Amino acid sequence: MLPRGAAYRGIFQPPAGEWQHVTLTWHDFKPMFRGRLLDGIPPIDPAGIDQVGLMIVDLEAGPFRLEVAWLDTP
């Protein structure tokens, strides 16, 4: 079980000013807590997902824009 406050994280870096198709496999998502990889946590179970979040974590000040056209699972 994932500890309270932890989440599975998949990383991507979209280019500025253009649309990009990003594909992340379930294996790309790693269990994290406050920026640290958690050991001994099972891989993500897609059937157990009840919410999705997007976060900017590059610590750069300035304008930011991310448009999401759709999210899908196979």
Distance CA 46, CA 56 (A): 23
**Confidence category of residue 71, pLDDT binned at 50, 70, 90:** confident
* Whole-number pLDDT of residue 50: 86
Asked if 32 and 7 touch (Cβ cutoff 8 Å), the reply is yes
- pTM exceeds 0.85 for this model: no
> Which residues sit opposite 7 in a β-bridge?
32
Give the Cα separation of 44 and 8 in Å (integer).
7
Give the pLDDT of residue 74: 67
Please give the radius of gyration of the chain, using alpha carbons only, rounded to the nearest integer: 14
